[in-house]
Amino acid sequence: MTNAIETTGIHKSFGDHTVLRGIDIAVASGTIYSLLGPNGAGKTTMVNILSTLAVADSGTARVAGYDVVGQADAVRAAIGVTGQFAAVDGRLTGAENLRLMADLHHYGRKDGRRRTAQLLEQFDLEAAAKKPASTYSGGMRRRLDIAMTLVGEPRVIFLDEPTTGLDPRSRRAMWQVIRDLVADGVTIFLTTQYLEEADQLADRIAVLDTGVIVAEGTPDELKRLVPGGHISLQFGEHDQLVAAAKTFGEVARDDDAMTLQLPSDGGVRSLRAVLDGLDRESITVEGLSIHTPDLDDVFLALTGRPRAEKENQK
């Protein structure tokens, strides 16, 4: 399998502020690769360099087989970019925005019309096609944005925090769009602040922290690095806590708070195992909560410090 994106030693500074310090990544064609990190980690700068919007201070990057600096136009012809802020023309209608993209991709009149109609349907924008994009809701703007990115049938797509600011339903819809795209064989480079999003979508994840990739691997490989996932049981009576501890083992028992924390991946199977155990031993619990590993846990595990603290340090 060839690589759709390859970088070696990418460095980038803005004045005294170093944003990226030696990024090496390789993204196989037809896969989803996620760059995961908090605000200010350098995710957008990385997307800008790969999409020819910015030039790295040192290092090389090839996208779709072309050098991003020396062959920028060939890269641009192969990519589609959806940035963090919806890149739509608010003064044009949804259909006009798509036609504009079709014209700039030099489609003929008929092909441009057909592609526009097809994308309006695919992204559920037909009803709003003749309204100015400035009147769209956040979710609609984002859908139009992605549709515009797809007009030229790009082989490599960059999505910079595509679900930030979307409600849960729109976020799910966006995930489905992304899955459908990769099913058609395109390569997707996705940045996100949400571990869950990277977990749901990505074939491989790189965790970016202050300009350095601190971990890279499949979602499962990464999650093994994170000990944060657990089921927390709250007890009303002490003897119940003791009984539960006997059943599940002496893990993270807190006698004062009367809680017991059991390691879990947050999945249904591990939850059922716990519930079955409680049933079998007739143990009464007051409350149960599931804690899944999140970005904070990843950061704590990988950098040895929580996210908030890190931002203060800077």
Contacts with another protein by CB under 8 A lie at 51-55, 73-74, 76-77, 79-81, 83, 85-92, 96, 100, 103-106, 132, 148-149, 152
Nearer to another protein, 72 or 212 (CB): 72
Provide, rounded to whole angstroms, the least separation between the CB of residue 67 and another protein: 15
Nearer to another protein, 72 or 288 (CB): 72
Provide, rounded to whole angstroms, the least separation between the CB of residue 81 and another protein: 4
Spatial separation of the C-alpha atoms in residues 308 and 31, rounded to whole Å? 32
Spatial separation of the C-alpha atoms in residues 285 and 288, rounded to whole Å? 7
Provide, rounded to whole angstroms, the least separation between the CB of residue 220 and another protein: 33
Provide, rounded to whole angstroms, the least separation between the CB of residue 140 and another protein: 15
Q: DSSP assignment of 98-160, as one string?
A: HHHHHHHTT--HHHHHHHHHHHHHHTT-STTTTSBGGGS-HHHHHHHHHHHHHTT--SEEEEE
Q: Chain centroid to CA 97: how far? A: 26
Nearer to another protein, 76 or 230 (CB): 76
Nearer to another protein, 112 or 219 (CB): 112
Provide, rounded to whole angstroms, the least separation between the CB of residue 121 and another protein: 22
Closest CA to 22 of 57, 71, 66, 72: 57
Nearer to another protein, 91 or 246 (CB): 91
Spatial separation of the C-alpha atoms in residues 49 and 42, rounded to whole Å? 11
Q: Chain centroid to CA 253: how far? A: 34
